[in-house]
Structure 1
């Protein structure tokens, strides 16, 4: 059944999206402000993936670029809507539904803002079930769905439309454009029919985001452990607890890249990230790798911490959780496994089991 996102439910949605964002996806607070502005006293209708008609026209709305930049370069609703309008003109047909490219941070709330501003329903699903740093790293790529034509817009009023030969080229060209446009832009693409969306997207992502956010708040209200509430819902495990002792971070080529070191009773864990956390190592031993989820939560409150929000002295807990199983297919690992990011490791699942990277 359809349900609604209102201004009151944005906080839970943003918090849960930051959990699934594995450190990336952009600042959830900024996205929540934008979504509340767009919704006002109204609501956005959310349609279950299974209820999409075969001939629906579904497009994604998202931010592309370095999350660290977006903290200071705030988007506007005009910037969010512009690439969708450009894409719609290129397609020659009206867009009927907005979808999330990823379940992560701001990229689970920008689509809410887009849907509210355009008066369109939102799909209860996304292209990843988590967040990844590059545009082609979505499950629709595995189903032959093209990212282009891709609409791009910045805060200065510039709008562009890309037509590319495949999704990797869309990423390469759009990333250069994003850097030139200020390292943070709004995009819209991956136009698909309702039938394609039902097959390629991760079902129930927005519902899960809202549920995770509510679970954290409810656990705190009951003086229960909010981190355990997240772990049990995602079917994951807690890897480590400790204090952040070092963060190395730089914005390069349109990404926030770096590492964080956390000391605790079990030793020292090091997290390597490119927007999102990709590898967790304990005293040099690999614990978990992409594509499974590596999540950093504040020790007591369970509040998710993004990679740009990591600071010296924070007390945190690190959680691992399973990704959508399609990411562990040979095609999924080629798209977003450790080898793609240059790590010479076997793929290590959230539970510590390993397999050779495709």
Structure 2
């Protein structure tokens, strides 16, 4: 299958939903991807099974605060610089681009990067959603060493990092990102197709397209989306308070939704670190990472990213189960609530929402 300009709006909508509030706004990535495929042609979407074992797969993603990405947009040179550095280091060119995270701009922008480089896009990613930190990827959970990170920024700098492990990759890459203005393009966990098997989450580009298309022409977009995701509705209401700050290369804060209609009298608070991490109502946790929590417009079911939350918006909060990989002991150690500093034992969203 090929991804052409007609697929990109659906892909963007799906990536926004899977982004759980993070990954960056999809508009700039969508426009860049449409322009790229118009100029360079459709992008082949390939499976791991389509690639030889020694083919180099290059995960790419923007790193930094989503609020900054609106003003500091990736150019066309950053992915080329990274690809050139990979060829210099490995002695052969990349064979395919992969989204590091399917959520938000980091899910749709790889279409543009692949098109500009003349490479296929792998139908897979490293999260099945979006997470804010470098080590929070399936490759880290699978035990693949994080021994190479390559970054490029809009000023033209290229930084190659040789960290000792995934946690150090986050610390050093974040520091470089902050020095670059809290926004840069990054490739980490460059790996062969053979090594990627079982270490990445496959089928996620196809899934994002499916999520994006389910609301097209639907009489009740919200219910169509809920049905496809098998998501719990945590609350429907109005945003009454948003506290948000950019610090250390992240967007952090809280958002409060006051229930309306049948939910009048209820209040749900979301804890944010780029993504929606924990949902709390009346002192009780309703959903938590690594399960997915997404805010959508109640009428259109369009996802609202954390940097787009505004007082008075009429929204619905949905939550649904993460990929099983994140519920393993290593997955929870990496991206469970305690990884973000919450003193919470993980409870699956389907248990937390079983009784309404």
Q: TM-score, normalised by structure 1?
A: 0.94
In 1, the alpha carbon distance for the partners of 2:87 and 2:171 equals 23
1:29 counterpart (27, 30, 42): 27
Contact 1:83 1:152 in 2 (8 A): yes
Q: How many correspondences in the alignment?
A: 348
Find the counterpart in structure 1 of residue 192 from structure 2. 193
Q: TM-score, normalised by structure 2?
A: 0.95
Is 1:300 aligned to residue 299 of structure 2? yes
The correspondence of residues 70-219 of structure 1 with structure 2, limited to 5 A, is 70-219=69-218
Contact 2:215 2:225 in 1 (8 A): yes
Contact 1:149 1:163 in 2 (8 A): yes
- Structure 1 residue 228 displacement after superposition: 1.7
- Structure 1 residue 311 displacement after superposition: 0.3
In 2, the alpha carbon distance for the partners of 1:136 and 1:119 equals 28
1:236 counterpart (231, 237, 243): 231
- Structure 1 residue 113 displacement after superposition: 1.3
Find the counterpart in structure 2 of residue 17 from structure 1. 15
Runs (5+) with no aligned partner, structure 2 = none
What's the CA shift string for 1:239-281, capped at 9, x where partnerless? 1100000000000000000110000025100000100000001
What's the CA shift string for 1:317-356, capped at 9, x where partnerless? 00001100110111000000101111111213221349xx
Contact 1:245 1:261 in 2 (8 A): yes
In 2, the alpha carbon distance for the partners of 1:90 and 1:162 equals 12
Moved more, 281-290 or 246-255: 281-290
Runs (5+) with no aligned partner, structure 1 = none
RMSD of equivalent CA atoms = 1.3
In 2, the alpha carbon distance for the partners of 1:248 and 1:43 equals 41
2:252 counterpart (248, 257, 264): 257
- The 1:225/1:44 distance shift into structure 2, 3 A limit, reads same
In 2, the alpha carbon distance for the partners of 1:166 and 1:125 equals 23
Moved more, 142-151 or 237-246: 142-151
- The 1:184/1:134 distance shift into structure 2, 3 A limit, reads same
Find the counterpart in structure 1 of residue 38 from structure 2. 40
Contact 2:285 2:352 in 1 (8 A): no
In 1, the alpha carbon distance for the partners of 2:83 and 2:222 equals 37
Contact 2:83 2:93 in 1 (8 A): no
In 1, the alpha carbon distance for the partners of 2:186 and 2:83 equals 8
Contact 1:49 1:204 in 2 (8 A): no
| Matched position secondary structure for 1:176 | helix
Moved more, 304-313 or 29-38: 29-38
In 2, the alpha carbon distance for the partners of 1:62 and 1:150 equals 11
Moved more, 238-247 or 52-61: 52-61
Contact 1:61 1:110 in 2 (8 A): no
In 2, the alpha carbon distance for the partners of 1:241 and 1:316 equals 6
Is 1:310 aligned to residue 309 of structure 2? yes
